Structure 1
Amino acid sequence: MQVKAEYAGKHAFVATAEDVEGIWSTLGSYYEKVEAEVTCSDGIHRKFTRKEEISKYTNPKRSEIKTVQFTAIRRNDDKDIEVGTVTLGKKFYNILSLSLHGEEESITTINTKIRDTFEGIKPWYSLLATVDLGFVLLVLGMLGFGFISLINKPPAKATASTSPQMAIAIISALTAIIAFVALVAWIFAKVREKIFPVTAFKIGQGIKRHELNENIRWVVVVGLIVGIASAFISAPLLP
């Protein structure tokens, strides 16, 4: 029986040469012909007809791999053409996708193997790379207002002379918080794009780039956690 399997994923990924060759081999176990079109940062689309060619690609920074799309073709016993496609990289709103057409038993096996590969190449920072910036702004705003409430505790008996001062202080603090949140969101977007990439290929020179970014990622995450924890621990101790 002929079936069609489709999947679209939105999580980040870090793919190695072994992962790419594995997908190629999985498709090749059923389809007669497999090719891969690689979109690079220099705007050039490179086509590979053998899986070893992708592994040998130097993947320099100026033309690093952004997207790999596999296309597999097979002619069945009824002379109908069956097509399978797998994409690693952004395509419309998706980051990972597949579309497989063919005999049910074979397509079920291929679909499971490739879906397992998709899950296996998901990095630990995937949530940071794909989280909605609007959600980040909301969280930062809530943290900011919480911090302000800690450092601006109202006195037991408010007096007329101190109330205006308190109001000015609160307004100034809220303005500063809003500006700070906007600045942090802008910085976060830029840092996320560079340090927490949605798509990464550990192929050729991309291996060293990934290792460097991995070290930077841990420094950023640990520093952020320590900074937030220190702020909330020290806030109640302020006069």
Structure 2
Amino acid sequence: MSEATFLDDAYLRDLTATVVAHTAEGGIVLDRTVFYPTGGGQPGDSGRLVWDGHTLEIATTVKGDGAEIVLVPAAPEALPQVGVKLVQHLDWERRHRHMRVHTALHLLSVVLPLPVTGGQIGSDKGRLDFMMPELPSDREAVEAALNALVGADLPVIQTWISEAELDANPALVKTMSVSPPRGRGPIRLVQIGEADDITDLQPCGGTHVARTSEIGELRLGKIENKGKQNRRVNLHLI
């Protein structure tokens, strides 16, 4: 099991850890990590590992068996041995852009309160697919509403609920294509807004900025037809 420190602190960039395993494919498993593994539409983190005068570039991060998080080297080089203590250095600029885009997509699901059928996060833009029979009547109004939520400087915090509590509140799950993980204890919720004025609340295991103002200005991109009632809405950082 790899301790996922990004769940509690998405701003942690550097961390010491111990190598606990290698995978058959040449990946590295640490006892704890700042690297987010690909999932929920968010790409895996990149960065580097440093130990005993050696440096290993990490191209991406993926989920392994059970609760393992696997760091994937950028090239086939000698790996740090099991038991070695090392320092992780996250590619922070790339991760922070993912955090901004991910939080922006949560706001998009507020401005367009429709069932979400898919999504993808990039470093410069992201998109959500919606069950949307008709196009929005006013694109400028959608973009203005998004930037108003950004400008409101709303706090973004996490809370946790049990599976039973989630079952009692099925409307919390907005994404039809991805279900929250089961059988691993409490489920993480990402909340945007204060307790007495919550703008958004939904299960999410990704990384987010601390306040919406950190997202920066947004531009609404193409709205593409992806089926009879499915539309893809693109959103760009400026």
TM-score range relative to shorter protein: under 0.3
TM-score normalised by structure 1 residue count: 0.23
Name the structure with the higher strand share.
2
When Rg is computed on C-alpha atoms for both structures, the one with the higher figure is: 1
TM-score normalised by structure 2 residue count: 0.23
